[in-house]
């Protein structure tokens, strides 16, 4: 990467102040490796978001089913308890003769006892259903908790990898994230900060405005773009100024004879003119803005 982000003086100072016996720090993985890791982690987070949405929906359904089953079990138990009490309150035979007679003819209490037993069976099944629903609800709670925890840990890993990438992806306070063609091309252009403007040049060490663009996109895997601002404008999808994203191509003056690459924060990178170098400029510094496209 051209233009090391740490000055020679800072490097010397680090060398002077570092303990002589210190072990060399492990080299950080290169940006392309970190970017692949970041892409994978972000894909994982997206998948976990979808999974979490489905699990939270299932949790609501399981909670409703558990509440309904518990209420049904309470009702069945109450009905059984009422019959138990009714059987207990039924009058008993007053003597052996009456008891013998009731055994032969049948007692009103017999029907109550049959109803009580049937209600007991229903109450037992309802209690079992309620327990099953409760366990299903608890399982849903556990699944949601596990997925939320996994998402939190993965998100923390995303932050760590972004921290590792931030220095490599930051140029004069502008950070360009992502592995898409536009992001890679924009970083490639920013890597050329300080290279001289040369008319009709398209890299690798000097550029004109459209030459910087086509060289940067070639580094991102899209070679062969036309070395002409008008053709590049016609090639892209027109974008409103309010919708600009890093990587969009911005054009200037009525003939669109000058261009650059938007980098965010209202700024763009470009190779301005003879005697100047590739640099970042505020869009507001140009009163001749004439449009933007997205390749």
What domains, with CATH codes, occur in the chain?
31-170 (1.10.287), 175-294 (3.90.1720.10)
- The stretch 133-162 carries a mean pLDDT of 96
Tokens 């536009």 belong to 182
Q: What's the whole-model pTM score?
A: 0.62
Known catalytic membership, residue 21: no
Three-point CA angle 122, 120, 73, nearest 5°:
55
From residue 102, give the alpha-carbon distance in Å to each of 89, 113, 115, 255: 17, 14, 18, 113
Known catalytic membership, residue 146: no
CA atoms of 125 and 76, how far apart (whole Å): 9
- The stretch 122-150 carries a mean pLDDT of 97
User: Is the distance from CB of 83 to CB of 44 less than 8 angstroms?
Assistant: no
Which one from 80, 146, 209, 227 is the annotated catalytic residue? 209
Q: What's the pLDDT score for residue 21? A: 42
CA atoms of 295 and 292, how far apart (whole Å): 10
Q: What's the pLDDT score for residue 30? A: 85
Q: Residue 87's pLDDT band (boundaries 50, 70, 90)?
A: confident
Mean pLDDT, the chain, integer: 87
pLDDT one-digit tens code per residue, 250-284: 999 999 999 999 999 999 999 999 999 999 999 99
Which one from 21, 80, 146, 258 is the annotated catalytic residue? 258
Known catalytic membership, residue 209: yes
Q: What's the pLDDT score for residue 29? A: 80
pLDDT one-digit tens code per residue, 178-219: 889 999 999 999 999 999 999 999 989 999 999 999 999 999
Q: What's the pLDDT score for residue 264? A: 94
């Amino acid at each position: 990467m051209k233009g090391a982000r740490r000055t020679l003086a800072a490097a010397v100072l680090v060398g002077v102040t570092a303990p002589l016996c210190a072990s060399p720090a492990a080299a950080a993985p290169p940006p392309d490796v970190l970017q692949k890791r970041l892409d994978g982690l972000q894909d994982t987070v997206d998948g976990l978001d979808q999974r979490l949405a489905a699990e939270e929906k299932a949790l609501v359904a399981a909670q409703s089913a558990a509440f309904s089953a518990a209420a049904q079990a309470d009702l069945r138990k109450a009905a059984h308890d009422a019959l138990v009490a009714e059987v207990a309150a039924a009058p008993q035979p007053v003597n052996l003769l009456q008891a013998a007679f009731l055994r032969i003819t049948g007692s009103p209490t017999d029907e109550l006892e049959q109803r009580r037993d049937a209600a007991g069976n229903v109450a037992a099944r309802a209690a079992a259903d309620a327990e099953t629903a409760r366990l299903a609800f608890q399982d849903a709670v556990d699944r949601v908790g596990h997925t939320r925890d996994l998402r939190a840990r993965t998100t923390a890993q995303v932050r760590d990898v972004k921290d590792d990438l931030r220095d490599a992806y930051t140029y004069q306070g502008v950070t360009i994230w992502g592995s898409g063609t536009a992001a890679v091309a924009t970083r490639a252009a920013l890597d050329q900060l300080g290279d001289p403007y040369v008319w009709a040049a398209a890299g690798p060490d000097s550029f004109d405005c459209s030459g910087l663009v086509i060289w940067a996109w070639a580094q991102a895997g899209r070679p062969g773009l036309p070395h002409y601002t008008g053709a590049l404008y016609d090639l892209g999808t027109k974008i409103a100024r309010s919708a600009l994203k890093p990587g969009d191509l911005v054009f200037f003056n009525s003939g669109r004879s000058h261009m650059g690459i938007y980098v965010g924060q209202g700024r763009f990178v470009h190779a301005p003119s003879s005697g100047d170098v590739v640099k970042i400029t505020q869009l507001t510094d140009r009163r001749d803005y004439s449009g933007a496209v997205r390749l």
